[in-house]
Amino acid sequence: MAGVHGLAAAGLVVLLLAAVAPAFAVDYTVGDTSGWSSGVDYDTWAKSKTFSVGDSLVFQYSMMHTVAEVSSADYSACSASNSIQSYSDQNTKIALTKPGTRYFICGTSGHCSGGMKLAVTVSAAAATTPTPAASSSARPVR
């Protein structure tokens, strides 16, 4: 059956991709099933996750909303007028490429002050996945 073979092939591709992907990079859908929307507590959402370099944030939202990456000060002030980058394509994937804190707000008037704001702290990726079986004496010195 072609269908069965197709499924097996798809499964194999997933396995291969998982093996090749650097250090378990994760795509986090902001707000999970709620998406990027009004009435979601993004503080609590972010605290439930651990973000590392190599992971991505995926913002899914309706036309009512935007995503603006802003400075810490603008995050506090809910000001999107000096945004570092802003998006309105309703499905925005943002790669977390370096350690530090990044700030995102909705640019629609009143939404940020209503809670549509997200700060994520990105930690350095474990560049080499720890292999407990590795012998310390054999470790290459650089």
Query: What is the closest distance, in whole angstroms, from the C-beta atom of residue 96 to Cu ion in the complex?
Result: 21
Query: What is the closest distance, in whole angstroms, from the C-beta atom of residue 55 to Cu ion in the complex?
Result: 23
Query: What is the closest distance, in whole angstroms, from the C-beta atom of residue 92 to Cu ion in the complex?
Result: 13
Q: Which is nearer to Cu ion, 39 or 132 (CB)?
A: 39
Residue 25, helix vs strand vs coil: coil
Sign, CA dihedral 33-39-45-46, equals positive
Residue 33, helix vs strand vs coil: helix
Residues that bind Cu ion (CB under 5 A): 65, 106, 108, 111, 116
Residue 20, helix vs strand vs coil: helix
Q: Which is nearer to Cu ion, 30 or 125 (CB)?
A: 30
Q: How far apart are CA 56 and CA 27, in angstroms?
A: 5
Q: Which is nearer to Cu ion, 65 or 102 (CB)?
A: 65
